[in-house]
Structure 1
Amino acid sequence: MSQGGAAAACKAAKPQDRGWAWMVLFAAVLLQALTLGFPSCIGVFFKDLQHEFQASNSETSWFPSIMVAVLHGGGPLCSILVKQFGCRFAVMLGGLLSSVGMVSSSFCKSISQLYLTAGFITGLGSCFSFQAGITALGYYFIRWRTLANAMASTGVSLGFTLWPLLSQYLLDDMGWRNTFLIFGGILLNGCVCGAIMRPLQLASDSIAQSPKPGTQPGGSAEAAQLSNGASAPHPELQQRSRGAACFHALQKYLAFDIFCQNKGYQIYTVGMVWTMMGFTLPHIYLVPYAIQNGVEEQRAALLISIIGLINIFIRPCTGLLSGHRIFTGRRIYLFSLAVLLSGLSNFICVISAEFSVLITYCIILSVAMSGVGALTFQVLMDVVEMERFSSALGLFTILESITLLIGPPLTGLLVDITGDFHYVFYTSSFFQISAALFMGIGFCMLGEKNKSKEASKIPLDESSRYQYSEVPTQPQPESQPPPAVVCITSI
């Protein structure tokens, strides 16, 4: 590299951890409020949508389920998009899709059309914006990356606080169709956040965005062979090469090999998939449950905002607490305790639907949610090697999205049959309590098994290379290049 090129590269790398990086962090906070915080307001429209389309609880709950499932399960697709076109393009495309989805929803004539517009299109746009925004944040911050991610996660709590209040205010004055139209304009601000996340040229003189389409590694040899005039490979060889490429892509984005070999990853993934069957149920059905029991609509919407407001303060504290050395090697048990508390808190709603009792429930639930949200991906980093974290996360989020999709509609069907909203909280408690016990006992047994192996000095086999262990994360030096693209979802 020439002296001029080196000087230009160093000058371009200056925004890392300073200057424009803090504007990118501000944009990431807004993105999380616009994307992850947005589904929290859906419960406000539940009754109006039921009356408009004459739909049951199960039918109405499908569209927020689809939205949340696509938001979580679109990680591998977002990763491919970021590699091909860069973070800025993915964030702006996500903002555009989210806006188009909500504007289209305001003209829907049936609940099934709402599944496509507000559910799939808006959910996919939110996935692109959120995950690409977090990836861009990883490029701009190296030394202060942990702090930046913690600060960015406060956007989720901010969205939980503001979206329900804004939704109820607009719904009372304008109706749900005009409110969805306004939401389309608000979500379009994701494009503005994407514009702030300009590509970053690193000190190594490489641009922090992926190569252009058509320059993918792996196809270069065949392309060179064809360009040199060589004959095309035999059809059978072409089919085998396509199969190998497909298997390599699955291996890269979906870590089936880790799932088969790593017992800790198996336990954690199964436990979290089971947890998600009941984790989102209170967020969807709490407002309709409160309204059915005589709580005013404005006060019912305030319940979700209380959960988000408390999360703003509790979640960072939970993150700091879990980083203490006393929890080293024990974070999974702290996480299981948070899931257990979330499940047990649902019994408060069963006891009484008084507004004061529901506020108590929201306070306890928000504390539990803070623990789950702060530790979900930290525990996953503890369980798998960081070199394979991206692919392990891809499989993790896809499996998680399946239960996020089917949990609320199945529970809504149960409510339709029984006519009793109490079954929402019974179901949520069952899945979360059983999952917490499964993960806690499973990792306890796994730890005892590893200790017995070490005591007997039995050589570890290949499947034991990925057992549960924790290594404190040290700040990376500024000269170290940023990590590969990692798709991250949050709760």
Structure 2
Amino acid sequence: MAPQQPSSIEEQCEPESEEGEKLGPPSDPKHPAYNAPDGGWGWVVLFATIIVLALTLAFPSFIGIFYVDLQTEFKASNSETSWVPSIMTAALHAGGPLCSVLVERFGCRATVMFGGVLSGLGMAASSFSQSIVELYITAGVITGLGFCFSFQPAVTILGHYFVRRRPFANAMSSTGTALGLSTLPFLGDYLHKELGWRGSFLVLGAVLLNCCVCGAVMRPLKPRKAKSNTPKATKEERPKGGFLGIFKNLTSSLRRHMAFDLFCSNLRFRVFSLGITWMMLGFVVPLIYLVPYATSDGMDPSRAALLLSILGFVNIIVRPPIGVLFSLSWFKGRHIYVFSIALLLNGLSNNICCINASFPVLLMYVLTYGITMSVVGSLMFTVLMDTVEMSRFPSALGLLSIMESVTLLIGPPLAGVLVDRTGVFTYVFLVCSISVTLSALFLMVSFYWLDRRDRLQKEKASGSPAKPAVTLSTDCQYSTVPTNGDKTNT
């Protein structure tokens, strides 16, 4: 009989014995097949993940360099133009369940490589677009889905390669976003001057093909030899019968790849998911509108692009020591509070842009925003791993990505409508400040209440009269307990 298909990302990465038996998730150190090196080839996988994140998560943020050209070419408003990075970012997150299906069928390595091909072709095809709608499909949907297929499996397989050093590995991998923010604006500005927006999109499509190279080195973990008494899996019975069968297959796939049960049963995961979804409404919008805001006030486009690069360099410098710091045992159980405080400061930093659009003021803004963004980016996956079991992390990440995609999709266009109607960019940064600040307060207060509730429940349980306290009376007489060969008492 054919072996049963794995049902999730972590099962796809599970090794098998020579007899074809499942040995369990490699991220479980108690399992005999556990072979997470916390180093070795894991460092190569970490480096590849950094490059993948640089080419995917950071990509939509620097599209603002081409805003004026796109508006002129297609005679589009700010709101219409902002849909391009918005759809791209939303597709990057919303494709999580489909990405899980591909990983289930083809594996992490092949899915990352396929994502590189898809994003490269989508970006290259966008250079031939004749309308803004065609740009939505090519640069938005196709390229965004390619980013998703490269990003999520890379993060997941990294979690299997690192266990003891996982906070440090997550912090280091998050520097990929910073690396992209620091280098892509320079590349985009240079290509924009030399080739225009169409030539730039064509070259950027070729650059995105490097995700294929990164995916090629993400080899599955090799199992240790171990015997298992578990019988071999039989072929999975699939429901039959037209539309009903397709519907059952779809619902079964959603149960496997979406953590709906976890969302209903785990209150901490539910609070964290709602808080992150709220946060994303205004978290990335300032990055998209920073360059248009600066150039609208007469700043040279090259200096405006330099601001994004400085933001990236700040993240590169700050994130590695943050990863080492937050790996200390003192921060265990406190990651969510550090995350919330950093998010609160990040939201308040957007008010700096309301002063004026001069280079010194915006430089102060990107420095403040960059430091707080480094903490938020370094701890986001760590907090999620602290909230759910690692075996449920891929499905939890898939559901969280779907929820994020909604606010990521509507955030930039709503900001564009605000700019079109008022003609003032500072309102965008003010609204983003309010949104992010409130989400930070929501997370902080909610988790404090949950921790306090759990602490009171533990104290109540420990103080229950289930086991009466043992008291010793002073007038008790001592007597020996008879043993073999001793039948007298004293």
Question: Normalising by structure 2, what TM-score?
Answer: 0.81
The one-letter amino acid paired with 2:264 is C
Which of 421, 432, 453 is the aligned partner of 1:428? Answer: 432
Aligned residues: 431
Structure 2: 5+ residue stretches without partners: 1-16, 20-33, 464-490
CA contact (8 A) 1:161 1:306 kept: yes
C-alpha deviation, 1:326, in angstroms = 3.2
User: 1: distance between equivalents of 2:234 and 2:403?
Assistant: 28
Aligned partner of 2:189 in structure 1 is 168
Q: Deviations over 1:331-358 (max 9, x none)?
A: 2111111111111001100012110110
The one-letter amino acid paired with 2:297 is N
C-alpha deviation, 1:251, in angstroms = 2.7
C-alpha deviation, 1:137, in angstroms = 3.6
Determine whether 1:321 maps to 2:337. Answer: no
User: 1: distance between equivalents of 2:105 and 2:386?
Assistant: 29
Aligned partner of 1:102 in structure 2 is 123
Determine whether 1:40 maps to 2:61. Answer: yes
Q: Give the stretch that moved more between structures: 171-180 or 321-330.
A: 321-330
Determine whether 1:277 maps to 2:281. Answer: yes
Q: In 2 relative to 1, CA 328–37 (structure 1 residues): closer, same or farther, beyond 3 Å?
A: same
The one-letter amino acid paired with 1:378 is T
Aligned partner of 2:5 in structure 1 is none
Determine whether 1:152 maps to 2:136. Answer: no
CA contact (8 A) 1:341 1:368 kept: yes
Aligned partner of 2:467 in structure 1 is none
CA contact (8 A) 2:168 2:323 kept: no
Aligned partner of 2:153 in structure 1 is 132
Q: In 2 relative to 1, CA 169–454 (structure 1 residues): closer, same or farther, beyond 3 Å?
A: same
User: 1: distance between equivalents of 2:325 and 2:41?
Assistant: 30
Percent identity for Structure 1 against Structure 2:
51
Q: In 2 relative to 1, CA 222–396 (structure 1 residues): closer, same or farther, beyond 3 Å?
A: closer
CA contact (8 A) 2:88 2:140 kept: yes
Aligned partner of 2:143 in structure 1 is 122
User: 2: distance between equivalents of 1:106 and 1:444?
Assistant: 50
Aligned partner of 1:249 in structure 2 is 253
Q: In 2 relative to 1, CA 260–186 (structure 1 residues): closer, same or farther, beyond 3 Å?
A: same
Q: In 2 relative to 1, CA 205–165 (structure 1 residues): closer, same or farther, beyond 3 Å?
A: farther
Q: In 2 relative to 1, CA 200–283 (structure 1 residues): closer, same or farther, beyond 3 Å?
A: same
Q: Deviations over 1:300-326 (max 9, x none)?
A: 001111111000011122223333333
C-alpha deviation, 1:91, in angstroms = 1.5
CA contact (8 A) 2:168 2:327 kept: no
CA contact (8 A) 1:40 1:163 kept: no
Determine whether 1:384 maps to 2:405. Answer: no
C-alpha deviation, 1:329, in angstroms = 2.3
CA contact (8 A) 1:46 1:60 kept: yes
Aligned partner of 1:25 in structure 2 is 46
Aligned partner of 1:193 in structure 2 is 214
CA contact (8 A) 1:291 1:300 kept: yes
Aligned partner of 2:299 in structure 1 is 295
CA contact (8 A) 1:40 1:164 kept: no
CA contact (8 A) 1:335 1:371 kept: yes
Alignment of 1:399-414 (within 5 A): 399-414=403-418
User: 2: distance between equivalents of 1:419 and 1:302?
Assistant: 24
SS at match of 2:281: helix
CA contact (8 A) 2:347 2:432 kept: yes
SS at match of 2:461: coil
Aligned partner of 2:86 in structure 1 is 65
The one-letter amino acid paired with 1:181 is L
Q: Deviations over 1:115-144 (max 9, x none)?
A: 110111111111111222334444555665
The one-letter amino acid paired with 1:257 is D
C-alpha deviation, 1:414, in angstroms = 1.2
Q: Give the stretch that moved more between structures: 190-199 or 423-432.
A: 190-199
Determine whether 1:220 maps to 2:220. Answer: no
CA contact (8 A) 2:111 2:150 kept: yes
Aligned partner of 1:340 in structure 2 is 344
SS at match of 1:414: helix
CA contact (8 A) 2:61 2:284 kept: no
